[in-house]
Structure 1
Amino acid sequence: MARPPARKEDLKNSGPKMTARSSKYVGVFAALVLILVPGPPPAAQPPSAISASTQPSLADVLEGVTPAVVNIAVRSRAPAETNPLYNDPFFRRYFNLPEQQQQRLSAGSGVIVDADKGYILTNHHVVAAAGEIAVTLKDRRRFTAELVGSDEATDMALLKIDADKLTALSFGDSGALRVGDSVVAIGNPFGLGQTVTSGIVSALGRGGINVEGYEDFIQTDASINPGNSGGALVTADGRLVGINTAIIAPAGGNVGIGFAVPIAMASAVMEQLIEHGEVRRGRIGISAQDLTPDLAEALGIEQSYGAVVGGVERNSPAAHAGLRAGDVIIAVNDRKITGSADLRNRIGLAPVGSEVEIEYRRDRVPKTVTMRVEPDETIANPGSMPSRLDGAEFQDAAGNVIVSSVEDGSAAARAGLRMGDVIVAANRRPVATVAELAAALKNAGGTIALDLFRGGSKHLLVIR
């Protein structure tokens, strides 16, 4: 039987009936849906909306520092070729070679240290044998620089430009640096233009890079490359603590070992270059060696640093002040001495005629003396000495002559001379000063015989 058609009222009431209890559950479910369904994602902030203060940066410091670091271009004249045939005018004309010498252009960096006077510190090797020196500022102004003076032993040089609106760097305390301090190197690597690199102080008091021995380098892993020479090494607060000078580069590029001259040493050199145009080194008339643990034990002292006096020259400032062999010097002008090289640096860079205060230990008893620095009369192979002693430096010491340095690979080194040798006679003639040694060897013939002491033993060194 066919079902009757449904009525409108039946269709209206055919669904389930909603009770008050079921209505409550529906409300709870709707609330859960609102909680669980995520809302629209927040609008992404543009990069400009991120506060720059949240990003660690040296930008603010560098804005005030980089204008003081300059690019240096050096134009020097050098022979176009090394083949001796090129010196023959007929040979040159036949091959249409230029008659004039070629000009060689090299680049480096410098640091403005006095804005009023236009003084710029750089390295000696950057401006050595320069015919013309051009300085370019960060604002692209270009000036011809005057060489005030240069010192090869410390590899420092001072330039001067006539310019206004210059920015100079303030000096920091290089003596207060610690391993691990953050530093920034600024310079002109590979002629690319001003470049900034950052790193830390890796070591302090490094030496042995330059055979002259006036060294107390700051070592850093901030990248220093060719062209950075003469640039600035600054602290994180923008103070100048070093002049970038050298790198160890087995492959020709940076490997994370760079060296800078401490600003304390550089400023001492600068003062002498301004006053004299050269560095006039001082001396007090002693020879010294590092205080080693064995020496400290033998001397019965607990000191772990300093320089042991090995000899005192007669009538020298040290002799008049009462210093003796065996005394351990621990400070000069209230600054700790780390070793013999440090002592040599401090005395050698002290102005001639100035007074220095020496603090030392004798038989465990602390003592202090003041003495006047006199000119250093060290002679680096004077012209009257044979060329077979080239590369050696000699110094008066305790009535004898001490070999103060010997350049590696030099004629003196090949002849067997060693740093620290004490020469007492030359060709059977006793010598007490460098001048007497030069006189004894003047016009020396085929053989030179030197009586010397080395390591406490007497030797006869025959040089043919």
Structure 2
Amino acid sequence: MINYSHPKLFRFTPISLHKIILLLLNIVVAASISVSSVQAQSKDDLQALIRASKTRAALVQNVQKAVVHLKVEKEITNTGRNTPNNPLDLYNDEFFERFFPGMRPPRGRGNDRFRQEGMGSGSIVRSDGYILTNHHVVGEADKIIVQLFDGSELEAKLIGTDPESDISVIKVDGQGMHVLAMGDSTEILVGESVIAVGNPFGLTQTVTFGIVSAKGRTGIGITEYEDFIQTDAAINPGNSGGPLINLEGKIVGVNTAIFTRSGGYQGIGFAVPINMARRIMNDLIDEGRVSRGWLGVGIQDVTLELAKAFRLKDNKGTLITGVMSGTPAEKAGLQKGDVVLKLNGEIVENSNALRNEIADARADATVELELVRNGTPMRMMVTLDERPKQPSRMTIPQEPPTPTPQLGFSVQELTPEMAERLGYTQVQGGVVITEVEPDSSASEAGLRAGMLVIEMDRQNIVNLADFRRVGSELSLQDGILLLVRTQQGSQYIFVQGD
């Protein structure tokens, strides 16, 4: 007989129901507590944001007391011709125009004289009235008026100016003035919050907020020595010379330039790092001029093509393209073709980094260079001199085209007459490039008519016979390493074709 068993029935007993009710009550209470906790946390977060905002506002109010509005005047003589080297000429100096807005001067007759007005910003850096600003704001001005935070105005005198870094120092008579503290620009980080204070378009004490977008920007083409901090804090005409501040209220940069296609803010501004500006400022205050260290070499970046030609592991470092006679570099034994990898134990990323570090050193300072020569690592100690004033530069005229050989460029002997025309009067030997074939490998590599070839495959080229002899043993397909000279100096160029 088959026994059919009944399924078990589960019933809620009073005890089980009681437990369920307690559980549900606990869930409700926990949820209430959770909501209350979230609300409390949100309130705490809001209060923290409010406190941070008020702290920043208090910081800004303190900073503003040391930021000044600069009004400058320059007497202009309108000769009826363009004057591109006049830093206060609004017709021709686009760099100045970005920071000195105003009406263009009238196109008067020759030798008309008028007063040109401009504006900018500055930071009080010493309680006795020293103010840090830009060269392009005050460096060529005839009259400088400083408007303080309280609206009072004082006339300032120029203490010193340095066009190569775009830094100037001016001074007003005063004691116990509110001062901005200086930070350390080497410690700022990309992404760190910064504040720009200045007088854009004459709107005094304008404050904008942003971040550090990048560090070590070079190749901008603004100054001779570039190591800019890039920021997205709004900088506009009139901000120039004002401070870039960190959240400690310390200057980390001097606002100097903007990248723009419209004439106004586009999210890219540049500031001179305060460490560079402070060094220059101290020189200008103490000596009235800037003293920079000097090696006496021509340098260039190491490209991937040059790294291959010099058998280097990568394209780090700086390539020496020439050594001047009687300089610290020559005395220490440096040679063209050396690749500098480290300075005082620090990696040299590129030629601009080496240049800035050497310039920042004092004359008579001794530095250690780690380099590679023909694949062999070397160390050298070099005692620097003071950098002399830059020699004048000449425009290099181009010779008429001549038949172009398979290399993609033509050369001829450097005659005394041609050397004088091209400005190569101090050059001993070499052949001059008279034409570069358009769209050729030589053209793409950067060769131009008027350049002087002084080395080929690391062998000296004195005349056309040398060029033909060395060139006959080389293949454009394998690549040819040239050392060329212009009025701007020497550089290596690697040419390679199919």
Q: Which residue matches 2:233?
A: 222
87, 104, 115: which one pairs with 1:103?
Answer: 115
Q: Does structure 2 conserve the Cα–Cα contact (< 8 Å) formed by 1:317 and 1:374? A: no
CA–CA distance in structure 1, aligned partners of residues 145 and 288 of structure 2: 20
CA drift of 1:338 comes to 2.5
CA drift of 1:212 comes to 4.9
158, 163, 168: which one pairs with 2:174?
Answer: 163
**1:28-71 CA deviation, whole Å, 9 max, x = no partner?**
xxxxxxx9xxxxxxxxxxxxx99864423212332332222111
Aligned in 2, Cα 1:293/1:223: closer, same or farther, shift over 3 Å?
Answer: same
427, 441, 462: which one pairs with 2:417?
Answer: 427
CA drift of 1:263 comes to 1.2
Equivalenced residue count is: 361
Q: Which has the larger radius of gyration?
A: 1
CA drift of 1:150 comes to 1.1
159, 164, 185: which one pairs with 1:174?
Answer: 185
Q: Give the 3-state SS of the residue equivalent to 1:289 in structure 2.
A: strand
CA–CA distance in structure 2, aligned partners of residues 176 and 294 of structure 1: 34
Q: Which residue matches 1:292?
A: 303
Q: Percent identity?
A: 39
CA–CA distance in structure 2, aligned partners of residues 457 and 365 of structure 1: 22
Say whether residues 1:453 and 2:428 are aligned partners. Answer: no
196, 219, 228: which one pairs with 1:185?
Answer: 196
Taking structure 2 as the reference length, what is the TM-score of the superposition? Answer: 0.63
Say whether residues 1:237 and 2:248 are aligned partners. Answer: yes
Aligned in 2, Cα 1:132/1:425: closer, same or farther, shift over 3 Å?
Answer: farther
- Where structure 1 has 5 or more consecutive residues not aligned to the other structure, the ranges are 1-34, 36-48, 88-100, 382-388, 390-411, 417-422, 438-448
**1:256-304 CA deviation, whole Å, 9 max, x = no partner?**
0111111122122223322332334442121111123444444444455
Q: Give the 3-state SS of the residue equivalent to 1:320 in structure 2.
A: helix
Aligned in 2, Cα 1:373/1:143: closer, same or farther, shift over 3 Å?
Answer: same
Q: Which residue matches 2:109?
A: 84
**1:88-130 CA deviation, whole Å, 9 max, x = no partner?**
xxxxxxxxxxxxx543322110012222x42211111111331
Q: Which residue matches 1:261?
A: 272
Q: Does structure 2 conserve the Cα–Cα contact (< 8 Å) formed by 1:73 and 1:107? A: yes
Q: What amino acid maps onto 1:185 in structure 2? A: A
What's the RMSD between the two structures over aligned residues?
Answer: 3.9
Q: What amino acid maps onto 1:452 in structure 2? A: L
Q: Give the 3-state SS of the residue equivalent to 1:120 in structure 2.
A: strand
Aligned in 2, Cα 1:425/1:245: closer, same or farther, shift over 3 Å?
Answer: farther
Aligned in 2, Cα 1:148/1:457: closer, same or farther, shift over 3 Å?
Answer: closer
- Where structure 2 has 5 or more consecutive residues not aligned to the other structure, the ranges are 1-27, 29-43, 78-104, 400-412, 428-448, 455-480, 488-498
Q: What amino acid maps onto 1:69 in structure 2? A: V
Q: Which residue matches 2:287?
A: 276
Say whether residues 1:375 and 2:393 are aligned partners. Answer: no
Q: What amino acid maps onto 1:369 in structure 2? A: M
CA drift of 1:170 comes to 2.3
CA–CA distance in structure 1, aligned partners of residues 133 and 306 of structure 2: 39
345, 350, 364: which one pairs with 1:339?
Answer: 350
Q: What amino acid maps onto 1:83 in structure 2? A: G
Aligned in 2, Cα 1:142/1:279: closer, same or farther, shift over 3 Å?
Answer: same
262-271 vs 217-226, greater mean Cα deviation: 262-271
Q: Does structure 2 conserve the Cα–Cα contact (< 8 Å) formed by 1:246 and 1:259? A: yes
Q: Does structure 1 conserve the Cα–Cα contact (< 8 Å) formed by 2:70 and 2:119? A: yes
CA drift of 1:354 comes to 3.7
CA–CA distance in structure 1, aligned partners of residues 64 and 123 of structure 2: 9
Q: Which residue matches 1:10?
A: none
**1:130-159 CA deviation, whole Å, 9 max, x = no partner?**
121111221333221110111222111111
Q: Which residue matches 2:62?
A: 64
Q: Does structure 1 conserve the Cα–Cα contact (< 8 Å) formed by 2:364 and 2:383? A: no
Q: What amino acid maps onto 2:160 in structure 1? A: G
